[in-house]
Structure 1
Amino acid sequence: MPTVTATEALAHLWGVLGQPAQALSRVNLTGAEPALPSSFAVGTLAQSTIAAAALAAAQVDTLRTGREQTVSVDMHHAALEFRSERYFRVDGQLPPEPWDKIAGLYRCGDGRWVRLHTNFPHHRDGVLKLLGCAYDRDAVAAALSQWKAEAFEDAAAQAGMVVTAARTFEEWDRHPQGMAVAGQPLMTIERIGDAPPTPLPTQADDQPLSGVRVLDLTRVIAGPVCGRTLAAHGADVLLITAPHLPAIPPLVIDTGRGKRSAQLDLRDAAGAEQLRALLHDADVFVQGYRPGGLTALQFSPEQAAALRPGIVYVSLCAYGYDGPWANRRGFDSLVQTASGFNWAEADAAGDAKPRPLPAQALDHGAGYLMAAGAMTALARRMTEGGSWHVRVSLAQTAYWLRSFGRMANGFDVADPRYEDIGTYLETTPSGFGALTALRHAGQLSDTPPHWTRPTVPLGTHAARW
C-alpha cells in the first residue's frame, strides 16, 4: 500500500495552504486504495485535493456565517471525478473522441519514445512541418524513426510545439528541470499587494462563494476544473476565451458546468479594455497561459493587483516556475511522460512501452489545488486584506503524487465503466442537450455543492457581470 494515506496527504496540503489544523477534525474521508488500476495512489491524490478544496470552501463559509460545516469525500467518487471527461453523455450519447489522430507515443530512431500533443491545430501543423510528413500516423512514425528522441523534443520546444521524450524517474531526477521541481514547494500563495480586509457580500443564496466573481481564462482540464469547482460552491464564474483560440469541444462541455461563457480578443485594444473593466469588479482571476504569456498583454499578477487591489490571482503552468523548462508549454500527458510516470507505470504493469496513468491525474489534481488556493487566499483577504498570487504547476503536482509511494496490487482493481457508476451521475439541461455527468465528490453538510448554470457553447454570453 502507499506510504502516505489520504488523511496524511490532506493534512500536509492543509499545512502548505497555511490553514488552521483544527479544521481537519471536520473532514470525513471514506474508501481505500486502489481506487483506479495503477501502481500510483491516484485515489489518494483525488480524495485529498478535492477534500482540501471543499474544506477551504467551508472555511470561507465559517468566516461569512460563523457555522462550521463538515466535509465528506469518498475515494471512489473522487477518483471517478478525476476522469469526469470520460463519464459524461449528451442526450445519452458518447461525445466525440477529443484527441487528434496523430497524438500519442512514437518510437524514435534511437529506440527511445516521444509523446506528441497535437490536439490544437497549430500544434499539429507545427509538428508536421518539423517532420516534413503527411497527416498520417504511419507517416509520422516513419519520420520520427529518423530522429533521436531528445533531439526532437528540443527541436519541437524551440518551434513552440508540445512534445516530450519518455524518461525514467532516475533520468528525470538528473534532468535540470527535474532537479528544479524537486526544490520547489507543492504550491505557493504569496501576498503581492496591499488592500484593506474585504468581507464577502451578503447574498440571499447562502453558498460559501455566493457573490464572488471569478474570471476564468483557462482551457483544457486543470484550470477549467478550478473554475468549475468554484462555481459548485456558488461563485459567479465568467469564462473568457477568444475566437482565435482553439478548444477541445468535449472538455468544454464537461468543465463548463456552472459558468457563463464570453469571448474577448486580448490582442485587440477594445478586448483588453473590456477585460480590464471586468477585472475592476472581480474577486478571482484564474489563468493558464504559459509563464509570462499574460504579461505581454498587461495582465500579469502585479498589473492585475494594481488595477484591482484585493484580487486573488491564480496561475497554472506545466513544468514549474523555476528551471530551464519554466516557460515551456505542456499538458498533463506530456508531464507524465517527461517526469518518469509512464515508464514506472509500464514497469509495474509489465508493458513494453510507456503506459499513462489511468486518469489525467495531474490536470485534475492541479485544478483542485488551484481552487483550494483561491479560496484560501479569499479567506486571507477577508481577515487581513491584500492582493494574492496562487501558483500551481502540473510538474509539482506530479512530484507530490510520486511522494505517496506505490502499490503492488494497484492493477487488481477493475477499471470503472460508465455502466457501473450510475449512483454518482446526474442529468441536467445544457446548451448542448441533456447532460448526464458526475456530481461533485466534495460534499459539505449544509451547502451541498451544485451547479446552478448549465454548460453552454463558447461565447454564448456577453462579456459583462
Structure 2
Amino acid sequence: MDDTSKLLETIWTSLGGKADQARQVEFTAQGALPSAFPVTDLAASSMAAAGLALDELRQAAGHGACRFVVDRRLASFWFSSSLRPLGWQVPPLWDPVAGNYATRDGWIRLHTNAPHHRAAAERVLGGHEDRAGMAASVAAWDALELETAIVQAGGCAAQMRSAQDWAGHPQGLAVAAEPLIHMQTHASPERARNAAAFDPARPLRGLKVLDLTRVLAGPTATRFLAAYGAQVLRVDPPTWDEPGVVPEMTLGKRCARLDLHKPQHRTVFEQLLAGADIMLHGYRSDALERLGYGAEWRRVRNPGLIDVSLDAYGWSGPWATRRGFDSLVQMSCGIAHAGMLWQQTDKPFPLPVQALDYAAGYLLAAAAVRGVAMRLTGAGALQARTSLARTAKLLLDQGADKVQEPALASESAEDLAAMIEHTAWGEARRIAWPIALPDCPASWPHPASALGSAPARWESEAR
C-alpha cells in the first residue's frame, strides 16, 4: 500500500469507515505540491475519502460497491485553484499588509483580509498603508506579546512556533487529545428518502444544504456536495465579502444574505434551518450559541438535521474560541517552522497551498455524506466536527521530509481538460475534477456567483 492509500485508510477509519474500503481507490498521476510535508498525499486522500462516502451512500441505497480513481495531479490543482478566468482577473487573495513579519524575538503572521481584523491589528500597531510601515511597528514587539495584544483586540495573529513547542503548548495538547473527526448520532424522526427513487448518478439529489461557512474549508465541503446533486444555499452577513476566493468557492451554490440580529431575518433563517437536511458552519465554536442558535436549539428545531462544523484551533483547550485561518494555524502548530528548516531559509516557509483548509473541507464533506447514509439506514442524525489544527496534526504525523515533486506547472486549462463556466464575472475554464466515480460524474447546477446574489429561500423542487 502506497503512502497516499495509507493516509486514506487513516482518514477513512477516523470517519468510522472500514479500513479495507480504502482499497477501492486507485491513485494515478504524480502530484505537484513540493513541500516538507506530503501535501499531495493529503489532497488526494482527503478527496478520496469524500468519494468513498458517496460510494457508501450508494451502497446504503442498494447499489454495489465500486472501485474508482483519484488523479493526484488534478487533486493538487483543486487544492490551489480550479478556475482559469478568460479575459478577467480574480482579485488579490491577500490584504496589502497581511503576511509574516519579524519581531524582536521571532516571527509573527498577521491576517488582515477582513476589514475588522485589519482594524484590530491597527488598533495595536497603528494605521499603515503598506508593509514597510507595518514591519517597522511589528519589529518593536516580542512575538508572543504582540500575538496576545492583537487577539485581545479582536484580531487574528499567530506567532511562529516549532512543532515541539506546539506539542507542549496547552492548546497543542488539547488538540492532540481530540479525534480527527468527532462524530456522534442521536435518535431522530425517519427522514430517509425512498431508496427506489434514489439516483446513483446524483446521490445527493433532493438534499438541502444550509451553508454558513466562509473562505475555504467549509465552502470546499459544500462545493463538493453541490457537485453530486445537493441544493446548497450559502448565507452570509450583510457586509461580509471575500472577493479573492468567491469565484473559486461559490461554484454550484446560490448565495444569500441575512442579518441574524434583525427579527425578520432570524425568522427566515429559522425557516431555512427547519427545512434543511444538512447544515455546515465554520464560525468560532461559540458563535451560533451567542446568537441563540446553539447545538441543542438546532436539534430541537430540526431533529433530523445532519449538523457538521469546523473551527480553527479545536473544540477544547484555552484557544477553543480563538479566531483563526489556515495560514495562522500553520504558524502556530509548527508547519511553517518545519518548512523553514527544510527550505534552509531564515523566514517562515508555509505549505505551497492552503492545504489545511481544503483537506478539512473534504473531511467535512465526507462526514456529511456519511451522515446521509446513516439517516438512510435508520442510524440516527449525525453531528460531526473537526478543526484546522487537528487537520494540521494529521499532516504533522506524516513527518517532515523533502518531498520530490515538481512545482505546480503553468499548463493551460485546456491541457487539464477544463470545462467552460459562465461565472458572474465572465467566462472561465474550470479544470477537470479529480474523482472518477463510475456512472457518477461531478456537475454543478450553478456557475460561481457573487455573495448575496440570490434570495434566502430554498429552490422549488419542481425546478
* Common fold: TM-score over 0.5: yes
Gaps (5+ residues) in structure 2? 459-463
Superposed CA deviations along residues 173-212 of structure 1, whole A, max 9, x for unmatched, are: 1111111111111111112453336236736784010111
Relative distance call for 1:356 and 1:209 in structure 2 (3 A) is same
Instruction: Please give the secondary structure, in 2, of the residue aligned with 1:389.
Output: strand
Separation (CA, whole Å) in 1 of partners of 2:176 and 2:97: 32
Separation (CA, whole Å) in 1 of partners of 2:250 and 2:220: 9
The corresponding residue for 1:216 is 211
TM-score by length of 2: 0.94
The corresponding residue for 2:96 is 101
The corresponding residue for 1:430 is 423
Separation (CA, whole Å) in 2 of partners of 1:369 and 1:92: 34
Separation (CA, whole Å) in 2 of partners of 1:200 and 1:46: 34
- Retained in 2: the 8 A contact 1:279–1:308? yes
Separation (CA, whole Å) in 2 of partners of 1:451 and 1:399: 32
Separation (CA, whole Å) in 1 of partners of 2:270 and 2:311: 23
The corresponding residue for 1:52 is 49
Please list, as runs of the form range in 1=range in 2, the aligned pairs for 1:3-152 lying within 5 A after superposition: 5-32=3-30, 35-84=32-81, 87-110=82-105, 112-152=106-146
- The AA in structure 1 aligned to 2:357 is D
Superposed CA deviations along residues 27-66 of structure 1, whole A, max 9, x for unmatched, are: 222235x631112100110111000001101211222252
Separation (CA, whole Å) in 2 of partners of 1:129 and 1:22: 54
The total of aligned residue pairs comes to 457
Relative distance call for 1:30 and 1:424 in structure 2 (3 A) is same
| Bigger mean CA deviation after superposition, 121-130 or 197-206 | 197-206
Residue 439 (structure 1) aligned with residue 432 (structure 2) = yes
Gaps (5+ residues) in structure 1? none
Relative distance call for 1:448 and 1:120 in structure 2 (3 A) is same
Relative distance call for 1:418 and 1:288 in structure 2 (3 A) is farther
- Retained in 2: the 8 A contact 1:287–1:316? yes
Please state how far the C-alpha of 1:249 moved relative to its aligned partner: 1.2
Separation (CA, whole Å) in 1 of partners of 2:66 and 2:293: 36
Please state how far the C-alpha of 1:118 moved relative to its aligned partner: 0.3
- C-alpha root-mean-square deviation of aligned residues, in Å? 1.9
Relative distance call for 1:420 and 1:382 in structure 2 (3 A) is closer
The corresponding residue for 1:239 is 234
Match of 2:412 among 416, 419, 443: 419
Identity of aligned residues (%): 38
- The AA in structure 1 aligned to 2:156 is V
Instruction: Please give the secondary structure, in 2, of the residue aligned with 1:238.
Output: strand
Relative distance call for 1:9 and 1:154 in structure 2 (3 A) is same
The corresponding residue for 1:407 is 401
TM-score by length of 1: 0.94
Instruction: Please give the secondary structure, in 1, of the residue aligned with 2:288.
Output: coil
Instruction: Please give the secondary structure, in 2, of the residue aligned with 1:207.
Output: coil
Please list, as runs of the form range in 1=range in 2, the aligned pairs for 1:182-193 lying within 5 A after superposition: 182-193=176-187
Separation (CA, whole Å) in 2 of partners of 1:101 and 1:324: 31
Please list, as runs of the form range in 1=range in 2, the aligned pairs for 1:278-427 lying within 5 A after superposition: 278-408=272-402, 410=403, 413-419=406-412, 422-427=415-420
Residue 459 (structure 1) aligned with residue 456 (structure 2) = no
- Retained in 1: the 8 A contact 2:223–2:253? yes
Instruction: Please give the secondary structure, in 2, of the residue aligned with 1:434.
Output: strand
Instruction: Please give the secondary structure, in 2, of the residue aligned with 1:249.
Output: coil
